[in-house]
């Protein structure tokens, strides 16, 4: 566990027009607590510390680790109830931003390792209490004191008591995604908490880091990930709207590909994103490629870029708020809301504040909260 404040990052992206294709991806996303977001003037999709994020921003290998931990925690804490992957994701989001920027091997090993500040009472990184060394530097790389380690930022002394081998290599390693996630699940479960109860969930998070601000931050992410994990209810949606949504939802899990996607479905993309990410070897969708494909299934032809798609159908002004959206509407985001030429991203609204979203390179098509992204620029109703 850690005594430091949460780290944050900003994602960004750009809608660009090339001679052969036009693509789009995610822009800055909001934090779970603050509704105020500073729009970015330049695009970024290269990872780093996030100011926000949704399920689409969790590296697939980390999400697998969270889900595996949920399946295994009952072996160690049989009385634990209500452990869910969004709980683990909420902790890991605040502690390490899901280890984004590191390499996560197939066996779960994370390199380079993630170290917190040296807890020597110096005040650096917010630490005011010195913690003596307990592991001889085995996990935290130093024998001069303690520092939090891994994607869940455990102190070596804490890891000694709750660390578990989740991947079967006979070593409980806090720098391994699977082991760390299982250790976090065991720690949060305590002696058998019922995490379906908000008070017990809050107590578990408070045990992880004794800070009310920390608890509120983590709970915000848990709620956001929980919303993203739920499948939408299409019972009251019919006709061509339902056809569009079912097609879009069926693509969940398909990789993001810069410039990828056509009326025929996923396709290899182009080179390259602002940070040099190429879609030439990835079969998938970018944001406007996904909308192009989904609406084609309903017999509607869309232009290739997000900005151009805003000119199709009945425009829904941003000033009306997201409550004016209906399932099947296109949802737009802009660097300068009110100026459609600055639209950088598009999604497909499914209702209850969520959209189908192809977010950025390195992610997959997923359900996201509309308010998880900045620069809401209204929508367009085509059906």
Task: Enumerate the active-site residues.
Answer: 287, 345, 357
Orientation angle between helical segments 85-96 and 177-189, nearest 10 degrees: 110
How many CA atoms does the CB half-sphere of 149 hold within 13 Å? 30
The span from the CA of 369 to the CA of 277, in Å, is 25
Q: In the chain, what is the straight-line distance between the N-terminal and C-terminal CA atoms, in Å?
A: 50
Do residues 156 and 118 touch, judged by C-beta distance below 8 A? Answer: no
For residue 357, give the H/E element and its range: strand 354-357
The span from the CA of 160 to the CA of 163, in Å, is 6
Q: What is the largest CA-CA distance in the chain?
A: 67
Relative to beta strand 283-284, strand 267-268 is: antiparallel
- The pair of three-digit structure tokens given for residue 255, joined into one six-digit string: 């990789």
The span from the CA of 300 to the CA of 257, in Å, is 22
């Amino acid at each position: 566990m850690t005594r430091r404040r949460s780290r944050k990052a900003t994602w960004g992206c750009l809608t660009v027009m090339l001679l052969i294709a036009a693509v789009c991806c995610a822009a800055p996303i909001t934090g779970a607590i603050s509704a105020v977001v500073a729009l970015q003037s330049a695009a970024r999709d290269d990872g780093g510390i996030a100011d926000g994020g949704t399920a689409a921003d969790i590296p697939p290998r980390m999400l697998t680790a969270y889900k595996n931990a949920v399946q295994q925690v009952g072996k160690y804490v049989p009385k634990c109830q209500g452990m869910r992957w969004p709980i683990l994701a909420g902790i890991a989001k605040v502690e390490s931003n899901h280890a984004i920027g590191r390499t996560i091997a197939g066996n779960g090993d994370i390199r380079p390792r993630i170290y917190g500040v040296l807890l020597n009472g110096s005040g650096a990184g917010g630490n005011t209490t010195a913690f003596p060394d307990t592991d001889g530097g085995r996990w935290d790389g130093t024998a001069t004191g303690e520092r939090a380690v891994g994607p869940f930022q455990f102190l070596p002394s804490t890891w000694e008591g709750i660390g578990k081998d989740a991947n079967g290599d006979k070593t409980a390693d806090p720098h391994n995604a699977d082991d760390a996630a299982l250790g976090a699940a065991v720690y949060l479960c305590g002696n058998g908490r019922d995490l379906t109860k908000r008070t017990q969930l809050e107590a578990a998070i408070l045990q992880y880091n004794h800070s009310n601000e920390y608890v509120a931050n983590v709970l915000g992410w848990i709620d956001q990930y929980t919303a993203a994990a739920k499948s939408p209810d299409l019972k009251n949606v019919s006709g061509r709207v339902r056809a569009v949504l079912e097609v879009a939802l069926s693509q969940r899990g398909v990789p993001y590909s810069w410039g990828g996607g056509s009326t025929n479905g996923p396709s290899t993309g182009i080179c390259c994103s602002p940070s040099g990410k190429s879609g030439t070897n990835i079969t998938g969708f970018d944001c406007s490629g996904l909308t192009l494909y989904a609406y084609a299934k309903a017999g509607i032809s869309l232009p290739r870029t997000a900005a151009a798609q805003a000119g199709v159908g009945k425009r829904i002004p941003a000033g009306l708020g997201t409550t004016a959206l209906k399932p099947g509407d296109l949802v737009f985001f802009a660097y300068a809301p009110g100026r459609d030429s600055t639209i950088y991203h598009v999604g497909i609204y499914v209702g209850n504040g969520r959209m189908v979203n192809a977010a950025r390179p390195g992610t997959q098509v997923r359900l996201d909260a509309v308010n998880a992204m900045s620069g809401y620029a209204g929508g367009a109703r085509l059906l």
